[in-house]
Amino acid sequence: MKQNRRTFIKSGVLSGLAASTAALHAADLQPTPTEIKGPFYPIQAQKDKDFDLTQIEGMSGLAAGKHIFIEGVVVDTDSNPIEDVTVDLWQANAAGRYRHPHDPNTAPLDPNFQGWAIVPSGVKGEFRFKTVFPGTYPAAEGWTRPPHIHFKVSKRGYVELVTQMYFPGHPLNEKDLLLQRKTAAEQPTMIATQSREDPETYQFRIVLQKA
């Protein structure tokens, strides 16, 4: 049985991320860089879009691959947390295949991987979800995409953000045609930080601009 959302968030506490956010200066934060949505934004309806992508409601199996946690916080450019933001995220499974009918990748689908989640940020702008470490996949001849997670983040009064989160230290980051289009200052803001206390937890800050 899946954990309920309250228990799940309490179990994570998000203490490290909250502490780092509190230490931010209240000025000079740039909005998180935008990125293309890509061709695999979910188009098929699914009932289960909760924070745990490793198990589908009503099924007993678990998603294949390394299970990880993503702890996030959404703030404005003055570093104020933003409550009740809609955080919409989707990704490839551990084999690099999207749960999308038009994905040409021949890697296997995972019937136990949810692939898509929509979660709200809490009163401190925080969100947390459980997923699998996404696999790499061929995007074009000579171009293999590094592991990444897509985000669409929105709330009335703010500019909607579509972006991608990358994982630290992956060698394909340095060759990715999308990430490498960003400036040297922008690239680190799109790469998650691995928790020192728990190597299976990654932390990601999202900065929204007021409309």
Q: Catalytic residues, which ones?
A: 98, 137, 145, 148, 150
DSSP-assigned letter for residue 187: G
DSSP-assigned letter for residue 179: G
Length of the chain: 211
Contact present, 68 and 131 (Cβ < 8 Å): yes
**Interatomic CA distance for residues 130 and 114, integer angstroms:** 11
Tokens in use for 178? 């999308």
Question: Exposed/middle/buried for 44, CB within 10 Å: 0-12, 13-18, 19+?
Answer: exposed
